[in-house]
Amino acid sequence: MRNYPFKSMIKKYISSSLVLIVATIAALVVANIPLWGDLYRSWWEMPVQFSIGSLNLFSHNGTTLTLIEVINDFLMAVFFFSVGLEIKREILVGELSSPKKAMLPIIGAIGGMIVPVLTFLLFCPNDADAMRGMAIPMATDIAFSLGVLASFGRRVPTGLKIFLAALAVADDLGGIIIIAMFYSGAINWTYLLGAGICVLVLLLGNYRRWRYKTFYISVGLVTWYMLLNSGIHATIAGVVVAFCVPATLTGGTRYYIERIRKNINKFPIIESVKHNSHPVLLTEQEIHTLKSIESASDHLISPLQDLEDGLHNPINFFIIPLFAFANAGVNFAQMNIDSMYSGVGLAVFMGLVVGKILGVFSFSWLAIRSGIVTMPAGANWKSFASVCMLCGIGFTVSMFIADLSYSVPKLEGSTILNDAKLSILCGSICSALIGYFLLKRNLPSAEEVAKCK
């Protein structure tokens, strides 16, 4: 029963991964069409204002944010808010809720962060600016990796699906910590104090079991603004606020279930009006009864799960595709093919394609062989290694970290960000293809699965 959240997670990422692919291809095409490419790049530099009186919410130390900054700082904070809700749920009741369940994906995620960084440093030039991007190959894109895995349907053992999904969640948590520690600027203590007060207010609401989603969203917006101007990267606000959202119900389910049953039983049965031109109008009491049922149903869902479910479509079908369209537009005119064989380009590529599988597989292998954890149910070493290969698909968060690493004034005019993004695309595609063909070869056939059933 506990793997149901992961089954729904896999299903929701299949369709969203297709949208992400379309957005990425569209960005690459538009960015390299004459005239359109210049318009594409200038479009993201437009200033954006959202003012309440004299206060511009989209401003950083008095400077108005551009459209690309709103996407990367604000919309990605919403994305990390969703990730934070997902992580909290899995820590409380999912596959990260106990040491026994969480140990293997966490150990794999740790290896999948350490070894890619070491691989990056091995191939990266001894240059401080270039080494800013050492965290780029650490990430695993949950949408793409689960999308590839889901293409094999029932051939994939449930244990492997759970392992990859849990590892991607743990990976996201690691990426969030890295962003907070290494991609923040000079601290403005006044704004940081303001953010701290907001967090205390959110924790008070959680302690008092306030269920009002508008409360957490509105205070969360203030927290985001404070962190934006504090020097701590603003996307961290999304995770902090998510961990303050209540995951419990204010009371048991008995009262609300009985209330729903009582109201349903007294609601009149209305015959079909398919061939009746007269509309059916509910009485005021009947409308009140329906609203009572709706209210009781809402109380059976925790604010955390309600927000997580409500954010699913906006995140996967708007925010992430928009982020991809805005950030994946690699300009091939500025590209030197030699960049793929040296420098940051080679370091990112090797970190994703080689470092990621080596890290995840070697750390997991040591943990399993030492008896600390067990192999995922239904898997063998070949199929397990094939899934580890998919961890090298590092698109979304890798692009985000690349932007944080190389979109700095001192590197303006350099092609280093373009090189990094191209290598992320190539490395992710290469990892996906290798992983796909390994899975095709090493997973049991559909006939073998049917016989086992």
- The pTM assigned to this predicted structure is 0.78
| Residue 328 token pair | 């994946």
pLDDT in tens, 263-290: 777 666 666 555 555 566 667 777 777 7
Residue 204: the pLDDT is: 95
Q: How many CB atoms lie within 10 A of CB 52?
A: 7
Residue 339: pLDDT above 70? no
H and E: helices and strands count for the chain: 20, 4
CA-wise closest residue to 349 among 436, 419, 435: 419
CA-wise closest residue to 135 among 185, 182, 80: 182
- Domains of the chain, first to last: 4-248+302-452 (1.20.1530.10)
CA-wise closest residue to 66 among 41, 83, 90, 103: 41
336 pLDDT band, cuts 50/70/90, is low
Q: Estimate the crossing angle of helix 158-182 against helix 99-123, to 10 degrees.
A: 60
Average pLDDT over residues 110-131: 92
pLDDT in tens, 414-444: 788 888 988 999 999 999 999 999 999 998 8
